Amino acid sequence: MALNTPIRDWSRQRVWVIGASSGIGAALSAAFIERGARVALSARRRAPLEDIARSRPAHALVEPLDVTHEGAVAAALERIVAAWGEVTLVLYVAGTHAPQRAWDIEPREARDIVAANLLGVLDGLPAVVRRLMEQGHGALGIVSSVAGYRGLPQALVYGATKAALINLAETLYLDLAPKGIGVYLINPGFVRTPLTDQNEFKMPALIEPPEAAREILRGLERGEFEIHFPKRFTRVMKLLRLLPYRWYFYLVHKATGL
């Protein structure tokens, strides 16, 4: 049973991708445009957004912003609604990552990760929710990660922010679904992006951004709440969530060597 209203006709959608300049966000934006949706493209760098928009200019709106700047998302939302009259799907894809262990955590770097991954969502969320409720329809999606399921080596701060996003999306669904507003929680496994290129360990079931985009589109079209992929990896991670700590810690140490 679908927990959200399945999306059937992309030509009727007005989608805003926050974090559209590279990786999953760029692939997803291109896929939306290809399917006929109007897509607002946001990220800090304008040039990559304009490259995506060039494929179908009439269907794209370039809105550069930095989610860590207070009020940036709310201001961009006003401009998008002024241009389109509404926004039907807002996707938070923006985020950052830096491998960290307990003995080398850097406070400034930790704050930057929290600001981009978590505070950037929370800052614009009131304006987005208010707009969707005023419209009486629409949805929002938050890209978290399977790194938020349980603690993992080298994901000291990153994993904590993703765990917070999972909890946030679950609570948003409880509040907004009864009001007719959709909420999607997107939990990718390893996807080849500039961020995962920093990892020095073998990443199981690593996929490319276009495959991640296809998985997300499939989940949106089915009205799923949690969209997780690739299943061959994420199902294992879900199983690990159920294990007692003694077994979980042992298996993670053995599997990663960390």
Per-residue model confidence as pLDDT tens digits over 115-169: 999 999 999 999 999 999 999 999 999 999 999 999 998 899 999 999 999 999 9
What domains does the chain contain, in order, with CATH numbers? Answer: 10-256 (3.40.50.720)
CA distance 133 to 219: 23
pLDDT value of position 203: 67
pLDDT tens, 23-48?
999 999 999 999 999 999 999 999 99
- Section 13-20 average pLDDT: 98
Q: What's the half-sphere exposure (Cβ side, CA atoms, 13 Å) at 7?
A: 28
Q: What is the DSSP letter of 5?
A: P
Q: How many residues are listed for the chain in this entry? A: 258
- State the CB neighbour count (10 A cutoff) for residue 211: 15
Query: Is 197 a residue whose pLDDT tops 80?
Result: no
Predicted model pTM: 0.94
- State the CB neighbour count (10 A cutoff) for residue 141: 23
pLDDT tens, 225-238?
999 999 999 999 99
- Section 183-207 average pLDDT: 79
